Amino acid sequence: MKRVFSGIQPTGSPHIGNYLGALKNWAKIQYDYESIYCIVDLHAVTIYQEPKELRQKIEELAGMLLAIGIDPTHSSLVVQSAIPQHAELAWMLTCVTPVGWLERMTQYKAKSAAQETIGDGLLQYPVLMAADILLYNAAIVPVGDDQSQHLELARDIAGRFNSLYGETFVMPATHLPSVGARVMGLDEPDKKMSKSATGSGHAVSLLDPPEVIRKKIMRATTDSNPAVDFETMGAGVQNLLTIYQAFTGALDVDVRAHFSGMRYGDLKKQVAEAVVAALSPIQERYKQIMDETGYVAKVLDEGAKRITPIAAETVEVVKKAMGLYTAS
C-alpha cells in the first residue's frame, strides 16, 4: 500500500484555510493509503513560540485532527519531535541542499521579512519538510497550494540525493484539493488565510462559535459591486464563493446559477450558514475528545510506536548510502 504523509504546525488556531486546503483531504483519502499525519512542532519553533502555550497547542491540534475525522485505528497520528529521525534525516539532507535553493523559497522571504533576526531554522524549514516526507517514502502529500513550492524542493532534494548516493527515495507527489487549495484572508483577500495573521476578522477558526463565524463572514471584504457578477467580481467575492463551494461540495454550474446577481449581504449569509453547518459537528466531536482524559496522549503514543520502525529503517539506509557509521 502506498504511503501518504502530511503535517501541520501547532501554531495559532487552525482555520478553515487549513481545513479546506489540507485537513479535509487527509480524512478523505486516509483509507486509500497507509496514512501518517504529523503535528510538526519542530517546524513551529522556527519562529519563537511560548513554551507552555506550544505544549498545550500540540495536544489541542491532535484533538482537532481526530475531530475532523482522522481515524487512529487506521492512520498514524504523531508529533514530529517524538520521532528523532526527522531531525537526523534533515541534517543529512541539509548537506546535499544548495543554500541558493532555500533562499529562493517565497515563504522564507515572506516570513524572514517579518523577523528582526532570522533564525537558521527558518531557512532550513523546507529541508526538514523534505525529511518528514522522505523519511516514510511517502508517495502522496496532501497540502494547500502554499506548500507546492516546498514540495517541488523536496523532490529536487530527493533527486540530488539519489544522484549522489544511488536510488534511495521515492519521489513524492503533491495532492491539492480541486476547490479551496488557497483560501484567502477574509479581511485581505489578496493574502492567504494564515494562523499567524493578527487581524480579528482575518480567519475563521475551526473552533469559532456560530455567532463569531457569522460576524466575521458578514464583515468580509468584497468590492464596489452591489451583487455577484461572475465576469467582474473581485478576489473577496471569489473567496467567499470558494469557501461555500468547498464546504458544500456544490458543482461550478450550480454555484453560478444560484449566486449570479445575488446581493452581497445574502451571499454572505449563505456562506456563513454553510460554514456553521460544517463546523458544528466537528466542534462537538472536539469537545468530546478533549473531555476524555488521556485519550489524545494515548493516540499520539501509539502512532509514534507504530511508525518509528519505518523512520529508523530509512535513516539506517541513508547512513549506509552515505558511508556514515552504522552498527554492523
Q: How far is the CB of 20 from ligand AQP (least distance, A)?
A: 6
Round to whole Å and give the CA distance between 300 and 311: 16
Residue 233, helix vs strand vs coil:
coil
Q: How far is the CB of 206 from ligand AQP (least distance, A)?
A: 11
The answer to whether residue 22 forms part of the interface with ligand AQP (CB under 6 A) is yes
Report the site for ligand AQP in 261-290 (rule: CB under 6 A).
none
**Helix residue ranges, H only, 104-147:** 106-113, 120-134
The answer to whether residue 144 forms part of the interface with ligand AQP (CB under 6 A) is yes
Long-range contacts of 292-298, Cβ-Cβ distance < 8 Å, separation of 24 or more: 296/59, 296/62, 296/63, 296/66, 297/59
Report the site for ligand AQP in 180-199 (rule: CB under 6 A).
181-183, 192-196
Q: What is the DSSP string of 145-207?
A: GGGHHHHHHHHHHHHHHHHHH-S--PPPEEE--SS-SSPBPSS-TTSB--TT---TTS--BTT
Q: Which residue's C-beta sits nearest to ligand AQP?
A: 21
Residue positions annotated with a catalytic role: 111, 192, 195
The answer to whether residue 11 forms part of the interface with ligand AQP (CB under 6 A) is yes
What's the DSSP call for residue 31?
G
Q: Which is nearer to ligand AQP, 184 or 228 (CB)?
A: 184
The answer to whether residue 245 forms part of the interface with ligand AQP (CB under 6 A) is no
Q: Which residue, chain included where needed, has cell 482537532?
A: 64
Question: What is the residue type of 151?
Answer: L
The residue within the footprint of ligand AQP, chosen from 75, 124, 147, 245 (CB under 6 A), is: 147
The residue within the footprint of ligand AQP, chosen from 34, 41, 146, 187 (CB under 6 A), is: 146
Q: How far is the CB of 108 from ligand AQP (least distance, A)?
A: 11
The answer to whether residue 17 forms part of the interface with ligand AQP (CB under 6 A) is yes
**Which residues, other chains included, contact 324 with Cβ-Cβ below 8 Å and sequence gap of 6+?**
92
The answer to whether residue 12 forms part of the interface with ligand AQP (CB under 6 A) is yes
Q: Which is nearer to ligand AQP, 139 or 318 (CB)?
A: 139
Q: Of the ranges 141-149, 221-229, 264-272, 274-282, which one interacts with ligand AQP (CB under 6 A)? A: 141-149
Q: Which residues bind ligand AQP (CB under 6 A)?
A: 8-9, 11-12, 17-18, 20-22, 143-144, 146-147, 181-183, 192-196
